[in-house]
Copies of this chain bind each other. A is one copy, B any other.
């Protein structure tokens, strides 16, 4: 029942993996290094970031580590958010359930009240009928149920 019993070191650095060839294995051979796609082309390649992406990017590169760390942070954030939302949904379900019970109770009450009033009405009707024609006790015993 423990939820938070994992805490490697927060600052990563303990993973020390060496993804030889991370993913790209039998799918899309990433060009190991692209000399210079646009030598005298358009606007002169800004720094040289495009190269890094295609050149497997050193896993020791500071650039790389910074990116990874930022992404890890983003991932954590995203997952937290996701879990929060899920929990909120569960709460919502409970609220709706309660609301439902309240409504059903109210319906029950209203239905009961309605029944009482209708009965009273029938009695009155009978009284009136009796006072007009003191011998009719059969055609007015029907009741209505609303769905």
| Chain A contacts to B: CB under 8 angstroms | 8-9, 13-27, 86, 89-90, 92-93, 96-97, 99-100, 103-104, 106-107, 109-111, 113-114, 117-118, 120-121, 124, 146
Contacts and interface: CB of A to CB of B under 8 A. Distances in A.
Nearest to A13: B25
B113 A146 contact: yes
Q: What secondary structure prevails in chain A residues at the interface with B?
A: helix
Nearest to A21: B16
A112 B114 CA distance: 10
Contact of A110 (B13, B96, B114, B121): B114
Contact of A16 (B20, B106, B117): B20
A111 to B, nearest CB: 6
B17 A18 contact: yes
A91 B86 CA distance: 13
Given A15-B19, A110-B146, A114-B114, 5 more contacts: A8-B23, A9-B25, A14-B27, A16-B22, A113-B146
